[in-house]
Amino acid sequence: MLHLARYALILPAVIVMAVYLPMLFDMSFGERVPKTHLFYSPVSKKFIWRDKLLRPAEESLEEVHHAQFVQMDQDGKRYTRQEFEKLLPFIYYKNMELWGLLPLKIDGASFDKEAIRADRQVVELKPKQIAGRSPDEQVYPLLESQPDAARLAFPEERFRLAGGLEFINADFNRPDQELSRKFNQALKKAGVAFPLRLAAGNNTILKPFDNGFFLVDASGAVFHLKRVKGEPWVVKTPIDPALGVRSIKVSENRRKEFRALLLSNDDRLFLLSSDNYRLTPLPLEGYDPDGMDFKLIINPLYRTAVYSDDKIIRAVVLDKDYRPLVSYQHTMPGAELTPAQSVFSYLAPFRIDLEDPNSGYFAFQLKGWGTHSLIALAWAAALFLVYALRRRSGGTGIWADGLVVLLTGAYGLIAVTVLPLEE
């Protein structure tokens, strides 16, 4: 019984150390390695990026900006910060104006400040933003889309999905049955099959206009809902229910080219057009929405789709009709261990993370280091052997301790020595 009680303490001790010792090590010696910023230059017609150097040599240091960062292109040529920004004039157009480089002359066309601003847009989709991958807000504000004021304002009511729409007065925290009845009747008249299973909108007033919510019903059909002068406005979109809508991210931009990003159940990503709800597929080879950040960068000449996991960043350049022109992929510095992480990988064979960066929920993730983990297990086992010989211990207890150390490395070694066998 004493042995069982001892191992009942050793096991949680190993788990706690595997969670918090790596965390303390990161806080003391770790360094954050940001993802690579990858772009397509309309000037050089090449992919260029900014990386953090994990082991910067003296000859690699940039003369401007931060010494740990480097700007370079797909051919390996390096640039100063100013040279880099001149290759991306649509992004850094304000600097172009300060440097007297406006209007821009590219491919026989001229672009002044107003033209650039009118045709710039960035829309993103991160794994955490996909429906079901983070705790939902549960209640949503249906804004007035045609307000009698210069700015959008939050209404008194919020709605939630309860089969249909259930409106709740936020001031008094009680259901508004009349408003719920009016909107559900409008949805039913438009052909909604209850219960509703998804509501997607942009829940902020910090936007140029309100485009309402997209609702997905029990059959998979997609409906567009807005509040116009206090009344429900509903359109059944022509999106085929067989497509299988997994998630929708609404985008309200002054360009008004598209209304949203739509993710299907087979992990394809589409743009939902503003004119007639057409779906434009984005050609994203190898895209995994559950593990990749996605960004669409729009400028007056090109659209660049950039998507990345923890190791590889990919980009495909599209024309204005979203046909692919050229693509590229780059291995990011974060794909390899930093010097501090490399040291730790020889000290401990694994770590346990309780947070998944691609999800908003609790996650229990065991991460190892490959051959480094084997080395960490080997030196811990060797130290334990020396410890056992000095104690001149024997029996099943010492063999069980050895197995613990062989499987858990330094964590188990610390646990079995702090909680030693009874003589």
Q: In this predicted structure, what is the pLDDT of residue 64?
A: 42
Section 323-334 average pLDDT: 92
Sort residue 265 into left (φ over 0), alpha (ψ -120 to 50) or beta: alpha
Would you place residue 148 in the very low, low, confident or very high pLDDT band (cuts 50, 70, 90)? confident
* 143, 149, 187, 190, 227 from 146: Cα distances, Å: 9, 9, 20, 21, 8
What pLDDT band is residue 169 in, cutting at 50, 70 and 90?
very high
Q: In the predicted model, what is the mean pLDDT of residues 39-60? A: 80
Res 356 pLDDT > 50:
yes
| Residue 312 in this model has a pLDDT that exceeds 90 | yes
Number of residues that make up the chain: 423
With a pLDDT cut of 90, the percent of the chain lying above it is 70
Count other Cβ atoms within 10 Å, centred on residue 148: 7
- Res 393 pLDDT > 70: no
Does residue 165 contact residue 158 with C-beta atoms inside 8 Å? no
pLDDT value at residue 394: 60
Question: Is the confidence at residue 403, as pLDDT, over 80?
Answer: yes
Q: Does residue 31 register a pLDDT over 70?
A: no
pLDDT per residue as tens digits for the range 273-310:
999 999 999 999 999 999 999 999 999 999 999 999 98
Residue environment code for 192-225, b if the CB has 16+ CB neighbours within 10 A, otherwise e? bebebebbbbbeeeeeeebbbbbbbbeebbbbbb
Mean pLDDT computed over 372-394:
85
Q: Is the pLDDT of residue 372 over 50?
A: yes
Residue spans per domain, the chain = 2-31+340-418, 33-120+299-333, 127-292
CA within 13 Å, CB half, 120? 14
In tens, the pLDDT along 117-146 reads 999 999 999 999 999 888 887 899 999 999
Q: What is the pLDDT of residues 202-226, one digit of tens each?
A: 999 999 999 999 999 999 999 999 9
Q: What is the pLDDT of residues 232-289, one digit of tens each?
A: 999 999 999 999 999 999 999 999 999 999 999 999 999 999 999 999 999 999 999 9
Mean pLDDT of 63-90: 85
d(CA 213, CA 224): 6
Q: According to the model, what pLDDT value does residue 410 have?
A: 93
Which has the closest alpha carbon to 36: 286, 336, 304, 308?
308
Q: Which of 30-39, 101-110, 305-314 comes out lowest in average pLDDT?
A: 30-39
pLDDT given at position 58: 45
Q: Which residues of 227-240 are buried (b: 16+ CB within 10 A; e: fewer)?
A: beeeebebeebebe
Span 379-408, average pLDDT: 82
Structure confidence at residue 65 as a pLDDT band (50, 70, 90): very low
Residue 164 pairs in a beta bridge with 162
In the predicted model, is pLDDT for residue 61 greater than 50? Answer: no
